[in-house]
Amino acid sequence: MIYTVTLNPALDYFVELEQVNLGAVNRSNYDYKAPGGKGINVSRVLKRLGHQSEALGFIGGFTGAYIKDVVEKEDIKTNFIQVTGDTRINIKIKSEQESEINGVSPEITSEHLEQLHTQLSVLNEGDALVLAGSVPAMIPSEIYEVLCKSVIERNAEVFIDSSGEAMTKVLEAQPTFIKPNHHELGELFSVKLHEPQEAIPYVRELLGKGIEYVLVSFAGDGAVLGTKDQILFANTPKGEVKNSVGAGDSVVAGFLAAKTENMTLEDSFKFAVATGSATAFSKGFAEREKVEALMLEINIKVLE
């Protein structure tokens, strides 16, 4: 079974307007709401690829109820822990420039964290856990490291998509898979990365920590996948980018789905990149038919 954890979900409120006038009333041309949170996104994409998962995390209030309702209507199992207070609202403004206003997370107590530990205690060999997204300020930044260690000890696999201190600390727990983008990889090593070839020594260093797969995305410039045996490069398919939200999460979902289906490493890499691109080229999330079509446009090259 695949489990996804979103510690810091949100109700994302998208607003489109011609121009933002500060200090004045602004009227939107179009708006919509959607569940937000990287782990939740992974569950939603997995479902579209034909794989069931169970979405875990912390939700509360009317906003949390909305997230739960939307996810369950997509026939995705949830087991969210209810907290006091409302799940945050993130406002995403699409105008002449894109801007975001992220809300404040509700309080998460030690009792809530203990409930999460109990939920994850059922994982065993053959299960996979996705830990994705930011860690709320009131939760210790080593939470991913702690959860990862406990799950790895029971021979389940752990997939990480995060950044900052949470990502830095979890590396020592030897997760199965990590997916930094090139900016996040640069932050880990205090360098600027501009092209895929420059990522190779840093991918090698991460693999040396015992991580099995390191996938680094370079947006439209392709992606790099490293294992202990080789480092591969995949180009990005051509297409019009309509939606950047969830593209990175889709890469994680795509790789996990391919691995679950026992695809070869090269095909798993192609499937992951194609899934991210299919989301980017859509107004919603990737659909399997589009993913399989885009795979035909991706070529794999051995870098090392």
Kindly list the domain boundaries of the chain, sorted by start residue. 2-6+38-60+106-302
Scan for tokens 């840093």, then name that residue: 202
pLDDT digits (tens, 9 = 90+) for 170-214: 999 999 999 999 999 999 999 999 999 999 999 999 999 999 999
Question: How far apart, in Å, do the first and last CA atoms of the chain sit?
Answer: 33
The pLDDT score that the predictor gives to residue 245 is 80
Determine the 3-state secondary structure of 79 from DSSP. Answer: coil
The pLDDT score that the predictor gives to residue 73 is 97
The pLDDT score that the predictor gives to residue 151 is 96
Determine the 3-state secondary structure of 132 from DSSP. Answer: strand
pTM for the whole structure: 0.94
Beta carbons within 8 Å of 235's beta carbon, 6+ residues apart = 222, 297, 298, 299
pLDDT digits (tens, 9 = 90+) for 137-170: 899 999 999 999 999 999 999 999 999 999 999 9
The pLDDT score that the predictor gives to residue 95 is 87
CATH code reported for the domain at 2-6+38-60+106-302: 3.40.1190.20
The active-site residue, picked from 69, 75, 249, 267, is 249
Q: Which residues of the chain have pLDDT under 70?
A: none
Q: Is 249 a catalytic site residue? A: yes
CA distance 247 to 237: 13
